[in-house]
Structure 1
């Protein structure tokens, strides 16, 4: 069913709000844990907004029951570190991360694309939000017990990361990055790093299983997590077929049939286009511009792998050398 996209309706269930309640897109516990409350995030149009101001309309039931329970589980797992986080039901991570991503898109419906010109429209239009209709459908798993058959609608990759102390000025224990076009999402929280491909019918997990296995028992530097994100994001850009789902609902649960594409799933990989995406994702590192990392016709710098393809173990502190 179509959900009303307005500040007077709950972003999750669509019910009209009888009193004004809000859901923090980045939950309060996360903001306090990583000192984000007064920090800012830059949106796609250049708007800079404090994390604490990123709130969306939410009814009491969704906020205090469904989402609250999810936040408790994720918060405890993050407090327990990587070893605890990887024990979580991956569906819970998916719902939590997808809620943040969808929440950011929803928030952009109410933010002017040009703050000097209120008539110029908002960052996100209701028509553009149609792209996330399927994502919103999947998010209803927060409210209703949901089974996915025969595969998950997403791919998730979880990695152990270096954890930094307050005096370690060169890297942070929190980082977040996403892609509007591919709905790919990455986050670092202390020694936990994960990348989620939200609507790929599990294809990336299946195709990339052997490739990513070599990183499972390693500790990654943040620059390496961003490189993996760049690979997954570009791979999703090359996806030929959109995912297809069929939902069957009963009074107490949903069953979502996920159809995986067959045959040629991705278009051909271009090292040059991948390098352009990687340079953008690495833009926080001033000496890693496109011309610094791409060597025609097909060589791209890597902090992840050695020339023979084996894992490149980086020291915890490398930023001064980049």
Structure 2
């Protein structure tokens, strides 16, 4: 059986057991069994998250320290650890250090966190009071993320991309609130394979599978790199970049090949396809206002003062970037 067939067979035959490695699918036993923390332990210690709780897909709160997934010794210590060590070392040098990381390193690091969140929810009841309602996610749901799981095999050296990169990654410098716990923020969205993380003075966002389609808006965002962002401003940018991904009306399509015993290689088909229709639907401020209100916690009537208008904390009336001191919290609003 060829390696290509072997990888697809592995993906197809996953049994989603707590006794199976989330990454390579091998059976776990006393000798090779470990757990992988979805949110790395060093990050949890850095921001006092160990005893804090995160909101899961079903709205329940779950301890960060228990957010673990089954992993074999080889995947954990030989394949995942090098990426973790690179990110940790870069983070120790703050924003500039994180900017020095390659897109590939950030993709695998963030991609594991994204997939790990969903995978952990395979083993958690949707309703703890009624276990018969099933788990938060299920194997069929995880299977719908086939391409992302295949891409993660690059962590093991079993996959590569042919002349394209699957993700749009954004980095912004952020201010640090005085309270350590307030220096951490996490948002994910399954519909667009999106993650937003604020950790200390680093703000990271990624569309994991838009194949850089949303990056065409990056030149509009460069102005926001001129100031260190307030947490509220970072949330607004999160809403903007997430919403842009939601407007994408194409689903990237791939062809997978293999040469000899090499890794599976993925080729991207033209995203535009045979249609002349733009790949993004039109921006709708009314629709966007709902998302911004949800992500910022600001009442909708503030975010959307009138139809077609939306408030912004990012720029003034001259479209110049606004600096909002995190220790001052004076809010500046402007209609767009």
Same fold per superposition (TM over 0.5) = yes
Alignment of 1:21-60 (within 5 A): 21-60=34-73
- Is the 1:178–1:186 contact (alpha carbons within 8 Å) kept by the matching residues of 2? yes
Q: State the SS of the aligned residue for 2:144.
A: helix
Question: Which residue among 148, 152, 164 is the counterpart of 1:135?
Answer: 148
State the match for 1:244 in structure 2.
Answer: 253
Question: Which residue among 9, 12, 16 is the counterpart of 2:20?
Answer: 9
- Is the 2:47–2:180 contact (alpha carbons within 8 Å) kept by the matching residues of 1? no
Aligned-residue CA RMSD (Å): 1.9
Return the alpha-carbon distance in structure 2 between the equivalents of residues 305 and 254 of structure 1.
45
Return the alpha-carbon distance in structure 1 between the equivalents of residues 217 and 110 of structure 2.
20
Task: Give yes or no for the alignment of 1:230 onto 2:239.
Answer: yes
Residue by residue, what CA displacement relative to the aligned partner does 1:37-72 show, whole Å, maximum 9, x if unpaired? 111111121221110001111011101111111111
State the match for 2:3 in structure 1.
Answer: none
Alignment of 1:230-309 (within 5 A): 230-250=239-259, 251-262=261-272, 263=276, 264-283=278-297, 288-309=298-319
State the match for 1:214 in structure 2.
Answer: 223
Unaligned segments of structure 2, at least 5 residues: 1-7
Residue by residue, what CA displacement relative to the aligned partner does 1:264-292 show, whole Å, maximum 9, x if unpaired? 10112211110000101012xxxx21111
Larger displacement relative to structure 2 (27-36 or 302-311): 302-311
- Is the 1:34–1:174 contact (alpha carbons within 8 Å) kept by the matching residues of 2? yes
* Cα 1:125/1:222, change in 2 over 3 Å: same
Larger displacement relative to structure 2 (249-258 or 100-109): 249-258
Q: State the SS of the aligned residue for 1:63.
A: helix
Q: Give the TM-score taking structure 1 as reference length.
A: 0.92
Q: Give the TM-score taking structure 2 as reference length.
A: 0.88
Larger displacement relative to structure 2 (248-257 or 308-317): 248-257
Q: State the SS of the aligned residue for 1:91.
A: helix
Return the alpha-carbon distance in structure 2 between the equivalents of residues 321 and 314 of structure 1.
7
Question: Which residue among 199, 203, 211 is the counterpart of 1:201?
Answer: 211
Return the alpha-carbon distance in structure 2 between the equivalents of residues 148 and 185 of structure 1.
21
Return the alpha-carbon distance in structure 2 between the equivalents of residues 189 and 180 of structure 1.
21
* Cα 1:318/1:170, change in 2 over 3 Å: farther
* Cα 1:6/1:203, change in 2 over 3 Å: same
1:5 Cα offset (Å): 2.0
- Is the 2:126–2:134 contact (alpha carbons within 8 Å) kept by the matching residues of 1? yes
Larger displacement relative to structure 2 (116-125 or 139-148): 139-148
Return the alpha-carbon distance in structure 1 between the equivalents of residues 138 and 160 of structure 2.
32
Larger displacement relative to structure 2 (3-12 or 185-194): 3-12
State the match for 1:188 in structure 2.
Answer: 198
Residue by residue, what CA displacement relative to the aligned partner does 1:291-317 show, whole Å, maximum 9, x if unpaired? 111022211111112233332222232
- Is the 1:152–1:258 contact (alpha carbons within 8 Å) kept by the matching residues of 2? no
Return the alpha-carbon distance in structure 2 between the equivalents of residues 51 and 126 of structure 1.
23
Question: Which residue among 113, 129, 133 is the counterpart of 1:120?
Answer: 133
State the match for 2:79 in structure 1.
Answer: 66
1:171 Cα offset (Å): 7.6
Unaligned segments of structure 1, at least 5 residues: none
Alignment of 1:161-176 (within 5 A): 161-164=174-177, 168-169=178-179, 172-176=182-186
